[in-house]
Amino acid sequence: MVVYEFDPWGSEWCTCGRKYSLNPYTGCAHACTYCYITSYIPKGFQARLKRGLVKRLRRQLPKLDPGVPVTISNSSDPYQPLERRHRQTLACLRVLRDFRVMIVTKGALVQRDAGVLANMRAGVAVTITTLDELTAGRLEPGAPAPEERLRALQVLAERGVPTICRIDPVIPGINDDFRELVRELACAGVRHVTSSTFKPRPDSWRRVAAAFPEHRERLRELYFTRGTRVQNSRYLPEGVRRRLMLELRRECLRRGITFGVCRERLGIPMPSCDGMHLIPAA
């Protein structure tokens, strides 16, 4: 199988509706310091092809419920550098043309497929954690610059594709000033923001601490002294998480952008956590 039911670690904190998950590649070359995939994918930052992917997808297609949306992708960016040459994500979109599809990416290359996506029931969620290029380079060393991603969102919105921004994760003291980013998202036509706070596992904690040594001790105290453990992740204290998410929500609503949170369990009202409400069901 190449399409699976989306169920992130069986977490009771997940607020997603039922959806499928498809990863056109294994591993991700963006190598984001905060990424969780290295905790369960060997050589997680070494991107590689899935052989025979499209044939396997076509074989599985009759077994899928056409009423259930497909997310591309949750563990490997569908528009990382491999896609420019191999076009596996584009091939999957053509197979899934009758499904609702949500793209999740940091790849500005997604704008190449604006015409295909505009003729599907599809939305695109582009992650932008900060507009500051130096901070972005430390957080996401292999990803396109924030301005490139912002431009991709604008191109997609102009073609009528519902656009979402994932400001995810938020790390206090590093990327928690949202005003300029939300303003730029509104100007680019973004209709929904999904956010969550950084939830380190041992491997991602080591990378973030190494990339931001000036914040290491303050974050250690927040996460490991005052925070709590949920499954395999560390969480900020609830009051800190609530303050950050409500501040961002206020900025979004002020700009006419809907807002949702991912695995925060804060009781914040939202039309959907991931922006799926923007994609017509039929």
Question: Residue 242 maps to which CATH number?
Answer: 3.80.30.30
For residue 181, the enclosing domain spans 3-278
Residues whose CB is less than 8 angstroms from the CB of residue 39 and which lie 6 or more positions away in sequence, other chains included: 201, 202, 203, 204, 232
Q: Give the pLDDT confidence score for residue 9 in this predicted structure.
A: 55
Angstrom distance (rounded) from CA 43 to CA 58? 28
Residues whose CB is less than 8 angstroms from the CB of residue 203 and which lie 6 or more positions away in sequence, other chains included: 38, 39
The rounded mean pLDDT for the chain is 96
Reading the block at residue 5, the tokens are: 């039911």
Q: Dump pLDDT digits (tens) for 78-109.
A: 999 999 999 999 999 999 999 999 999 999 99
Nearest-10 crossing angle of helices 179-187, 146-158: 30
Q: Dump pLDDT digits (tens) for 189-235.
A: 999 999 999 999 999 999 999 999 999 999 999 999 999 999 899 99
Look at the chain and report how many structural domains it folds into.
Answer: 1
Q: With contact defined as beta carbons under 8 Å apart, do 176 and 222 qualify?
A: no
- The helices-and-strands tally (H runs, E runs) of the chain is 10, 12
Angstrom distance (rounded) from CA 32 to CA 55? 30
Reading the block at residue 16, the tokens are: 């997603």
Amino acid at 232: N
Overall size of the chain counted in residues: 282
Omega within 30 of 0 (cis) for the link into 73: yes
pLDDT beyond 90 at 117:
yes
Q: With contact defined as beta carbons under 8 Å apart, do 239 and 228 qualify?
A: no
Question: pLDDT category, 12, cuts 50, 70, 90?
Answer: confident
Q: With contact defined as beta carbons under 8 Å apart, do 101 and 93 qualify?
A: yes
pLDDT beyond 60 at 18:
yes
Reading the block at residue 10, the tokens are: 């069986």
